[in-house]
Amino acid sequence: MAPPPGKLRTRAHVLADLSINYVERQVLLCGSCVQRIQSDYGYDLMMSTFNAKGEIEPGIVYFQVKATDNLLVLAGEEAISWGLSRRDLRLWLGEAFPVILVIYDGKRQRAYWLDVQHYFVEQPAAGLFLAGETISVHVPVRNRLNRRSIRTIIQAKNAAQARLQERGLPDV
């Protein structure tokens, strides 16, 4: 009798690792650092940033990373359609610092990003949680995740920190 088959490393496992590695590399190339979150409650990575002197800056950026070999690009819209859990969305919209959704294209080995809070600024909040467990977002294909976009995300994090300080947080 043949022994039972061993545990398999599936393409989904490979894609998940490649997608996290892709984001980590872009962050590291910009001089920032990133930490993997072991227990996934809506976030995969947290990025910390540093000023020109190398001093850590206050605030963080959260990343939720998804991966696929079958990217759905909407015809004529130049956008990727992706479904989000409304439970995740409720958490993300309550954050003071940026939450970035990253969609990794395993076939092309590239990623696209969406600033979740910015995306939903113009959406009526009441309608976001009325029906269904998921909601679709459209991630523009022009939003390629690279060093330039990481710098843009860092600027958004710094702007969020400035807004918090304007509200009366102590500036030490």
Q: Which residue has the higher pLDDT, 122 or 167?
A: 167
Closest CA to 172 of 60, 61, 56, 94: 56
What pLDDT digit, counting tens, does each position of 46-69 carry?
Answer: 999 999 999 999 999 999 999 999
Position 124 scores a pLDDT of 62
pLDDT level of residue 127 (50, 70, 90 thresholds) = low
Give the CA distances from residue 68 to residues 26, 84, 110, 143, in Å, rounded to whole numbers and listed in that order: 19, 14, 11, 17
Position 88 scores a pLDDT of 94
All residues at 6 or more sequence positions from 51 whose CB lies less than 8 Å from its CB, including other chains: 57
What pLDDT digit, counting tens, does each position of 85-104 carry?
Answer: 999 999 999 999 999 999 99
